Amino acid sequence: MIEPLPDDGVVRKLWVGETDAYRDHLLRLDADSRVRRFGGGVSDDFIRGYAEAARGFGTVIHGFFIGETLRGCGELRMSSSPFTREAEAAFSIEKPWQSHGVGSVLLERTLLAARNRGVRSLCMHCLAENERMQQLARKFDADLHFDFGSVVGEVDPPRSTLMSVTREIMADGHAVTAAIFDAQSRLLRPA
């Protein structure tokens, strides 16, 4: 499933040195989007700490970029136990880019990353009133369970195959190439 992205946006994995871009994206979320992303109101200090922790092993973040600016993220965090084969997915998209297919592309990439890392159960938590996230989860055949004012969506990604690994490698390679060409074109533009 390939959906066009708005405003010539690009989706790619975040690089190790892009923690600041992730932090800045989360800090730009409006109050309502922060509540939906974190399940409640959170402070700027909390977000700074959370973004710093994303550097850890077992986290894969796909970002939606407009130019050099990160505007949306799909985050895959593996369980702390390597034997459980479980992970959690979370998504954040800045308000102007919500409801334009960005979430679908981010979830698709997150599911592919989970599949290729042997994840057997992928959970997505959201508030009961977060209809956008529930609709997105249903689009990818998630089982939704209501639990004390929140919803847990569970997806069982299929096993990885040579084709799924190749798809991820090609998407990563395409994203790196696009980023290089974008950087070069900005350098060549007259000031």
Is residue 1 one of the residues assigned to a domain?
Answer: no
Task: Determine the 3-state secondary structure of 108 from DSSP.
Answer: helix
For 167-178, the DSSP string reads HHHHHHHHHHHH
Asked whether 90 and 75 are in contact (CB, 8 A), the reply is: yes
| Two tokens, residue 107 | 């979830």
User: What pLDDT shows up at residue 149?
Assistant: 66
Would residue 178 count as lying in a domain? Answer: yes
| Helix or strand holding residue 37 (H, E) | helix 31-38
> Considering the chain, what is the average pLDDT of its residues?
83
Asked if residue 179 belongs to a domain, the reply is yes
CA 11/CA 73 separation, integer angstroms: 9
Number of domains in the chain: 1
Rank 55-59, 77-81, 109-113, 145-149 by mean pLDDT and report only the highest: 109-113
Separation CA 67–CA 37 (nearest Å): 23
The pLDDT value given to residue 50 = 92
Q: Which two tokens stand for residue 110?
A: 């997150």
Is pLDDT above 80 for 156?
no
Domain membership of residue 2 (yes or no) is no
Tell me the mean pLDDT in the region 103-122: 88
In a domain, 85, yes or no: yes
Report how many helices (DSSP H) and strands (DSSP E) the chain contains, helices first: 6, 7
Residue 68 near residue 12 (C-beta atoms within 8 A): no
pLDDT band at 21 (very low <50, low <70, confident <90, very high): very high
Query: What phi and psi values does residue 9 have, to the nearest 5 degrees?
Result: -70, 160
CATH of the domain at 160: 3.40.630.30
Average of pLDDT values for 81-102? 86
Whole domain around residue 64: which residue ranges? 7-188
Residues 33-51 pLDDT 10s: 999 899 888 999 999 999 9
Residue 103, both tokens: 């979430």
Q: Report if pTM > 0.75.
A: yes
With a cut of 70, say whether residue 104 has pLDDT above it. yes
Residue percentage of the chain with pLDDT more than 70: 84
Please indicate whether residue 3 or residue 120 has the higher confidence score (pLDDT): 120
